[in-house]
Chain A
Amino acid sequence: MTNEVKERNWEPKIVAFVCNWCTYVGADAAGTSRMQYAPNVRIIRFPCTGRIDPLFIIRAFQHGVDGVIVSGCHPGDCHYVSGNLLARRRWIVFRKFMDFLGLDLRRLHFAWVSATEGAKWAQLVNEIVEEVRQAGPAPTWAMPTDGATKIEAPLPEIGLPPSPPPELTLQIRELARQLLGTGEVGVVVGYEKATGAREGAATPTFVNKPEDADRLIFNEHCVHNLAVYLTNPLVKKFGKVGIVAKGCDIRSIVGLIQENQIKREDVSIIGVVCNGVVVNGRLADKCVACPVKVPHIYDHLVGDPSSVQATTSGHPLDAQIAYLESLSPEERWNYWMPQFARCIRCYACRAVCPLCYCQPCIAEKHRPQWIPTSPHPQGNLAWNIVRAWHLAGRCVGCGECTRVCPVGIRLDLLNRKLAIEVERAFDYRPGFDPSAPTPLSTHRPDDKADFIR
């Protein structure tokens, strides 16, 4: 404990989010039994831990609390049967995520405390207050820190992908002509050559007449995830949509189907065999270990599956994630805070993501204003955490958000970290099975969460 802390007589301020039926009663029982325990905890009562959105935990820290406890009924005892089991899934991933951002885990605790466990509650609070006291006052979310941590683990040298053969372009054009000509689709969403200042690049295009099909191309510059247009009203108005899609894009389409945003029969997938795209002058990181170079779901396949270069390495971002994980939480905080402080809230990350389709977005809701709209460090941190968290178990790693961010925030690291944790905990990778439940909307009795006291 620093002298400053002693002088200010600082006492940890801790908020507990508890469920009404178990922990709240347990805490009450501790009181009526006249158990003495630390007074630092303010309790907020919820009907069920299933209702506790990690957003509340974020808001608590944003408003300056030093520690958070989340507690509810034991698995199997939930008043609403499975609310706490869904909560458990969330906590497993969320806790790892907050650790990755640099939150000292001495500040975040989860417990099962039943209505008869007043003594457990009292002991728990005493222990947690001491842990938070050891951790000291929480770093304020309002000001960026001095001096940024750097990642001393450069991305590997990757070079360029091979150019797809011109046959792919011709096949796509022919398919588009057919699909539009027979009226099977009302529009084909694909890529065309960019003109003007972006010569050499590709750009999204919408072809709704067969005679315009020759606009379509496919090459290594076709980076955009066109699945984002499947929920766009100006595109949907044409009826069934044909879409030129790489494997990563198709994984997003699977996500949209899983979440009932589109029906499988409303889209005709022109799957394209892809050896990778170019971002910032080199092969995109996502392509290095891509598992879907040959599309896994499609209505029409374009390209030769045997032309695919085998994947020989792991994901290039994993070394950088491992590096960050080797640092102390404070050093990680000093990496992420300056990153988020740069955010100007252009929401390009949201606009370009096919799975950010909520209308309104949580950031647009103002009764209450969950996420401050102002681009100050506090508001930016809240936005960036929530954006990444809302994509946990859903993001397919297409990398578009990172490509488009005008201030270069490493969103790809956040997304990849969450994907790793979801896969590790639930053996789930998004974007493969359209009929699978999304990982955070389901649960298994054997979900492992040893950190819950």
Chain B
Amino acid sequence: MVTVTATGMAMPRETVKVSRNIYKPYLMTIVDMRDETHDTRTLRLQFKDPEVAKTFDWKPGQFAQYSVFGVGECVFTIANSPTRKGYIECTFRQVGKVTSALRDMEVGQTIGFRGPYGNWFPVEEWEGKRLYFVGGGIGTVALRGVMQYCLDNRKLYDEILILNAARTVADLVYKSEMDEWARVDGVTLVKAVDPGGETPDWDGKVGLAPNVFEELKPTPENAILVTCGPPIMIRFMLLAAERLGFKPEQVYTTLENRMKCGLGKCGRCNVGPYYVCKDGPVFTAAQLAKLPKDF
């Protein structure tokens, strides 16, 4: 057992137990899992504590710190909408130490969950507007929660277009759910892969996401564009949005950065004066334009 003593300090004479430990996660059971691609998995989780399960609430766009005890924590967006309670979903790509340990876990095992953290998509301000969701690769994960919210509150919004893009067909996430989105009234689903990424039986579009988006001739009046994907895709999406006449206040994205505390103290995830974990992760293009190139 590792015993940790602060360097050089005398042992305390008096101690108290922490009463509200901001670093203590909730315990969650993995109740289901689904591989989206060869390296991306979705987990469905349920709180072990029934009280927490009953009362836990969040807003679309918020994220959490997911723990594998003994290995570490990492940040994923909460991938389901608060209109779909009773479980929490996260989708992650296996890319490092914690995600590899997470991918080794099985249904029935326990992980930790700290959250919800961060700001959220201002879905109330979007009521009555036309919504465009453009997700690139694993960026679509960041949009799923808010997309589900808008689909579940369908009557509040005008037309909805969802563009789910990826480098190749194999890299497309939520392949099994996309049809569910398309079936909702007034929702257009477009799927796209980069040139060279199509399979012989591919029936979607072929082209880079920003180009495909432009070709769909979206109208910026009374519209909101929400996009997420690799940094280079976001960059070109913002340029495309500008060309199409979207004002920067109409365009939303969500940033990610290396995080540890997730609650604005540890000093790691800042972009200029803003902590991605506290002042983000949701930012408008207008806000992004003012941020220093620190991400």
Contact = CB atoms under 8 A, between A and B. Distances in A.
A and B directly contacting (CB within 8 A): yes
Given A366-B97, A367-B97, A342 B8 contact: yes
B7 A376 contact: yes
Interface in B93-125: 97, 100
B7 A344 contact: yes
A372 to B, nearest CB: 8
Interface in B1-51: 2-5, 7-8
A301 B67 CA distance: 59
Interface string A202-235: 0000000000000000000000000000000000
A89 to B, nearest CB: 33
A380 B5 CA distance: 12
Nearest to A377: B5
Interface of A: 142-144, 341-344, 366-367, 372, 374-378, 380
18 contacts: A142-B2, A341-B7, A341-B8, A342-B7, A343-B7, A344-B7, A366-B97, A367-B97, A367-B100, A372-B2, A374-B4, A376-B3, A376-B4, A376-B5, A377-B5, A377-B7, A378-B2, A380-B7
Contact of B5 (A143, A342, A366): A143
Contacts of B5: 143-144, 376-377
A88 B3 CA distance: 35
A375 B2 contact: no
Nearest to A62: B2
Contacts of B7: 341-344, 375-377, 380
Given A142-B2, A342-B7, 14 more contacts: A142-B3, A143-B3, A143-B5, A341-B7, A343-B7, A366-B97, A367-B97, A367-B100, A375-B7, A376-B2, A376-B4, A376-B5, A377-B5, A380-B7
A8 to B, nearest CB: 16
Main SS of the interface on chain A?
loop
A139 B38 CA distance: 48
Contacts of B3: 142-143, 376
A143 B8 CA distance: 11
A380 B8 CA distance: 13
Contacts of B2: 142, 372, 376, 378
A128 to B, nearest CB: 27
A347 B97 CA distance: 23
A366 B72 CA distance: 11
A376 B9 CA distance: 11
A142 B4 CA distance: 7
B12 to A, nearest CB: 15
Nearest to A378: B2
A341 B5 CA distance: 10
B160 to A, nearest CB: 42
Counting chain A CB atoms within 10 Å of each CB, the highest count among B5, B7, B97, B100 belongs to B7
